[in-house]
Amino acid sequence: MNSLHPGKATIMETQTAAAGPAAAEFVVTEIPRAGEPAGTVFLRLADELARRHAQVLSLMIYGAMAAWEEIERAMARTLGTTQWPVTWVEGASCDGGPLAGVQAFALAGGKVERVRLGNRIVGSVYEDGGARHCLLGGLGPTSLALGPGAQVQQMFGNLERALDQAGFALSDVVRTWFYNEDILSWYGEFNRVRSGLYRDVKFRTGSLPASTGIGARNIDGAALAVAAWAVRPRVAGAGAREVGSPLQCPAPAYGSAFSRAMEVDSGGWRRLTISGTASIQPGGKTAWEGDARKQVDLTMEVIAAILQARGMNFGDTTRATAYYRKPEFKQHFDAWRKERDLAHMPVVDTHSVVCRDDLLFELELDAGRASG
């Protein structure tokens, strides 16, 4: 069952490992309405979770850094003590409000185990009929005194510690989200360090994880923060696979260590997670420099081709995040959605910096359909 109305849950019914009552994975996307305080946004989220008798697996919050304390108080009042990983992204809203939106990954009808590093919950583990899943978030380096490259290495060390504690390894990771402060000044260094670390990893899928890399500050003041999704199959036929882009070259061709998309098939559902996608030519160069509307059009054409390659379309979207170099560029994606009757697509719109100075728009998107 899919709903394209922000504030509603996009539901994926999955069979539990014990073949008992169905468990339901779902994502709730909440965006503020005009003039609405953060507390009301989180209240709607809390109501949806209560209606589904669900637990939060992971939370992604996009908002202004200056509003962090206000948003944290609103979350505590409505959801209680935080018992799940939280990835805070300074993806500012495009209308000047303190909060751009919230995405909650949740589970109803199943058992959830929490992963801690020190006194902080950084992950959630759950099972469906085919695999164990681990969602991690809000991870970063331990020492802020290190240079950016060393912080990347330390961050990966903490990620591996959390994965190991949960019974996973870095080789099980199928999706990452990297939010790098001042990304344009050191993205090359980040890519070199990441590629070097991945070189010795034999990924279970045989492919690099899908990924997003965006310029954004984090609440810890670190050079970067990361969220990740790891999958370990439990039955034959379950697992993850790389999905290439019919219209773009593989990202490693120009020095970025990620796959264009990954598909996870388990528990009766195919979940397609598409990496942050932008206006890039087949050869790897930026297309339509300086033209935000055409960059939006090409980006969506590329994503549509990936969806179609797996028998899906935009109606199967479970969550999406849009990143605009300037807030006024949102009008072009709004127009694109309106023309295709997708105005209620579950997307959070943010004012953020993409990993190239000449890229004006990027979109990441997840979609799902029943297996078979």
Express each pLDDT in 161-198 by its tens digit.
999 999 999 999 999 999 999 999 999 999 999 999 99
Which residue's entry shows tokens 């020492």?
143
Residue 7 confidence (pLDDT) above 60: no
Residue 20 inside a domain? The answer is no
Mean pLDDT of the chain: 94
Task: Provide the pLDDT for residue 276.
Answer: 98
Q: What would the pLDDT profile of 80-112 be if each residue is shown by its tens digit? A: 999 999 999 999 999 999 999 999 999 999 999
Q: What are phi and psi of 192, to 5 degrees?
A: -65, -45
Q: What is the pLDDT of residues 292-321, one digit of tens each?
A: 999 999 999 999 999 999 999 999 999 999
High-pLDDT (> 70) share of the chain, %: 94
Question: CA 45: distance to chain centroid?
Answer: 18
Range of the domain at 170: 112-370
pLDDT over 70 (residue 156): yes
* Structural domains in the chain (count): 1
In one-letter notation, the amino acid at residue 238 is: A
State the Cα–Cα distance between residues 240 and 238, nearest whole angstrom: 7
Q: Which residues pair with 348 in a beta bridge?
A: 321
CA distances, 182 to each of 96, 217, 224, 311 (Å):
21, 8, 9, 38
Helices (H), 122-254: 148-165, 183-198
User: Residue 169, Cβ neighbours under 10 Å: how many?
Assistant: 16
260: in domain: yes
258 within domain boundaries: yes
**pLDDT exceeds 50 at position 19:** no
In a domain, 316, yes or no: yes
Are 50 and 89 in contact, with CB atoms under 8 Å apart? Answer: no
Residue 183 located in a structural domain: yes
Lowest mean pLDDT, pick from 5-19, 158-172, 218-232, 324-338 = 5-19
pLDDT beyond 70 at 4: no
Question: Is residue 9 in some structural domain?
Answer: no
What are phi and psi for residue 22, nearest 5 degrees?
Answer: -65, 135
Whether 219 is in a domain gets the answer yes
Query: Could you tell me if residue 238 is inside a domain?
Result: yes
Cβ 316 vs Cβ 307: under 8 Å:
yes
pLDDT at residue 12, rounded to an integer: 44
* Total residue length of the chain: 372
Q: What is the CATH number of the domain that holds 220?
A: 3.30.1330.40
23 has pLDDT over 80? no
What is the reported pLDDT for 22?
56
Q: Let me know: does 225 contact 140? Beta carbons within 8 Å.
A: yes
pLDDT tens sequence across 228-282: 999 999 999 999 999 999 999 999 999 999 999 999 999 999 999 999 999 999 9
In the three-class reduction of DSSP (H, G, I as helix; E, B as strand; rest coil), residue 217 is classed as: coil
Region 357-365: what's the mean pLDDT?
99
Strand (E) or helix (H) holding 135: strand 131-139
- What does the pLDDT read at residue 5? 41
pLDDT at 11: 47
* Predicted local distance difference test score (pLDDT) of residue 14: 43
